[in-house]
Chain A
Amino acid sequence: MHRVQTLKHTPFHDFHRAAGAKLVEFAGFEMPLRYTGDQREHQAVRERAGLFDISHMGEFRVAGGGATEFLNRMVTNDVAALEVGQALYSPMCRPDGGIVDDLLVYRLEQHYMVVVNASTCAQDFAWLEQHVPAGVTLADESDRTALLAVQGPRAAEVVRGHVPDEVLALDYYRFTAAPVFGVRALISRTGYTGEDGFELYFDPASAAQVWQGLIEAGSRVGLELVGLGARDTLRLEVGYMLYGNDIDDTTSPLEAGLGWTVKLGKRDFIGRDVLVRQQERGLTRKLVGFDLEGRRVPRHDMAIAAEGRVVGRVTSGTFSPTLQRPIGMGYVESKLAARGTALQIRAGETELPARVVARPFYTHGSRKT
């Protein structure tokens, strides 16, 4: 079998190995899939706290007088409405309304930081570069940025005493520049789990200091290391999008139920015309959540049927560790998107009965709102 020899490592790679992680290729990186077990790691985050290495994600710095207008033209949400110290979730669209990526925009005093998916980092940078006007600078700082997430109802207890009090007072989607374990960092109250928590951006040279500090401080509350496996089940339980699965350049933010991130009323942005038309004419398909009886699990790309014909495909599916039942998402014709609609998931020869349910599947997370 061919083995790719050039996988990138995050600054925490040695710690993953030492912890006995099962490592897998993800977006060109060798990343921890799991350390002990998907369900155990998942449960730790729902009940206590978990530590995630997400340094594979990309960070761009956007600066210059026209940076606000530039970013506001590139993404669907309203960057101009951001205050300094505030972050924003937004899709970035193509002219046809398809999604290039979903990302975070952080507004700092003199510039912006844009955080993108690892799998799309290179394309995103190229796409932004293609549109960047004179007077705006764009720099890829991904390799100079370590990123850890501490997530869970007891995440604040993990960092308490090791960050200034202002960090503990941050509201959801707010951030500040502050030291953590004596290391200069940008700390935001954000995450991908539905739980309270922080994401810490800092210099990779200080990787060991922050990692070991968090492990030691976290031992008091039962913090566990969490791999990509549980990261995916955590995000799916709360209905968050995974780019490449639930959204991509063939789906629009409106179809995905991300209408709250599409500000059609702001000045022109890429994709706006198509999205306005979709809004006016109504959507032909919608992303729905569904759950299933029994224990068979829907998987990415399985056909979704209704009334004896295929009406869509599963985009994400898993066995929900918290709800202890199979859940999934997929696009179906709009008239089949109502809650309670019966669907069948085709798993090989077997048809699994499913029904449309509200997203998020899990609503009791500790996330601040």
Chain B
Amino acid sequence: MSFPAELRYTDQHEWARLEGGTVTVGITSYATDQLGDVVFVELPAVGKKLEAHKPFGVVEAVKTVSDLYAPVGGEVVEVNGALTGNPALVNQEPFGSGWMVRIKADRPDDFKGLLSSADYEKLVEAQHA
């Protein structure tokens, strides 16, 4: 499995993309492969303050449930409303239209502390071994 090089990752299988001071967050293709069909994504309201590494939402799949963890701290500035009517986007395009929230990062530099795609790939391989 390989993962987009321009993104950063958490050990809980979220990805993060930094644009300006805003971080877009979703879950990886490895996570969706583990979860199976996503049927619901519970996301925070716009304006909510998130703490880094703390749960901020829930992904319900047919067979299992998983918490979402914030890669960085900050304020939610946008949530992906399309997931309400079509949660399957998370399975179809985990790195694209299946994104979940945009966070205005308190400290954009925290982004650099996240895993690189190469490190994340190693982590996934280790979990599979």
> Which residue of the partner chain A has the closest CB to B63?
A229
The size of the chain A interface, using a CB distance under 8 A, is 21
User: Could you mark each residue 14-45 of chain B with 1 if its beta carbon is under 8 Å from any beta carbon of chain A, else 0?
Assistant: 00000000000000000001001101101000
Contact A34 B36 (CB under 8 A): yes
A:114-151 near B, CB below 8 Å: none
Contact A296 B42 (CB under 8 A): yes
Chain A hits for B79, CB < 8 A: none
Chain B hits for A33, CB < 8 A: 36, 63
The answer, yes or no, to whether B10 is at the interface (CB within 8 Å) is no
Shortest C-beta distance, B51 to chain A (Å), equals 15
Contact A1 B126 (CB under 8 A): yes
> Which residue of the partner chain B has the closest CB to A294?
B40
Please tell me which one of the listed residues B37, B40, B58, B129 contacts residue A39 in the complex, with CB atoms under 8 A apart.
B37
Whether A297 contacts B60 in the complex (CB less than 8 A), given A37-B37, A39-B37, comes out as yes
> Which residue of the partner chain B has the closest CB to A227?
B36
Please tell me which one of the listed residues B63, B87, B126 contacts residue A38 in the complex, with CB atoms under 8 A apart.
B63
The answer, yes or no, to whether A188 is at the interface (CB within 8 Å) is no
Chain A hits for B36, CB < 8 A: 33-34, 37-38, 229
Shortest C-beta distance, A164 to chain B (Å), equals 38
Please tell me which one of the listed residues B37, B40, B64, B126 contacts residue A295 in the complex, with CB atoms under 8 A apart.
B40
Chain A hits for B42, CB < 8 A: 296
> Which residue of the partner chain A has the closest CB to B34?
A22
User: Could you mark each residue 1-43 of chain A with 1 if its beta carbon is under 8 Å from any beta carbon of chain B, else 0?
Assistant: 1010000000000000000001000000000011001111000
Interface class of chain B by DSSP: mixed
Whether A1 contacts B127 in the complex (CB less than 8 A), given A22-B33, A319-B60, A319-B62, comes out as yes
Query: Given the complex of chains A and B, what is the CA–CA distance between A131 and B126 in angstroms?
Result: 47
Contact B65 A297 (CB under 8 A): yes
Please tell me which one of the listed residues B60, B63, B87 contacts residue A296 in the complex, with CB atoms under 8 A apart.
B60
The answer, yes or no, to whether A233 is at the interface (CB within 8 Å) is yes
Please tell me which one of the listed residues B37, B58, B63, B129 contacts residue A232 in the complex, with CB atoms under 8 A apart.
B63
Please tell me which one of the listed residues A34, A38, A229, A296 contacts residue B58 in the complex, with CB atoms under 8 A apart.
A296
Please tell me which one of the listed residues A229, A232, A297, A347 contacts residue B39 in the complex, with CB atoms under 8 A apart.
A297
A:198-244 near B, CB below 8 Å: 229, 232-233
Please tell me which one of the listed residues B60, B62, B87, B127 contacts residue A233 in the complex, with CB atoms under 8 A apart.
B62
Query: Given the complex of chains A and B, what is the CA–CA distance between A233 and B64 in angstroms?
Result: 12
Shortest C-beta distance, A336 to chain B (Å), equals 25
The answer, yes or no, to whether A321 is at the interface (CB within 8 Å) is yes
Of B33, B58, B91, B127, the most chain A CB neighbours within 10 A belong to B58
Query: Given the complex of chains A and B, what is the CA–CA distance between A33 and B33 in angstroms?
Result: 11
Query: Given the complex of chains A and B, what is the CA–CA distance between A321 and B64 in angstroms?
Result: 14
Contact A295 B39 (CB under 8 A): yes
Contact B40 A296 (CB under 8 A): yes
Query: Given the complex of chains A and B, what is the CA–CA distance between A294 and B64 in angstroms?
Result: 16
Residues of A within 8 A of B (CB): 1, 3, 22, 33-34, 37-40, 229, 232-233, 294-297, 299, 318-319, 321, 347
Q: List 9 A-B contacts (CB under 8 A).
A: A1-B126, A1-B127, A33-B36, A39-B37, A40-B37, A232-B63, A233-B62, A233-B63, A321-B62
Taking A296-B40, A297-B60, A319-B62 as given, write out 7 further A-B residue pairs in contact, using a Cβ cutoff of 8 Å, ordered by the A residue number.
A1-B126, A34-B36, A38-B36, A297-B40, A297-B62, A299-B65, A347-B65
Q: Which 10 residue pairs are nearest across A and B when measured between Cβ atoms?
A: A295-B40, A38-B62, A319-B39, A39-B37, A38-B37, A297-B60, A38-B36, A319-B62, A229-B63, A37-B37
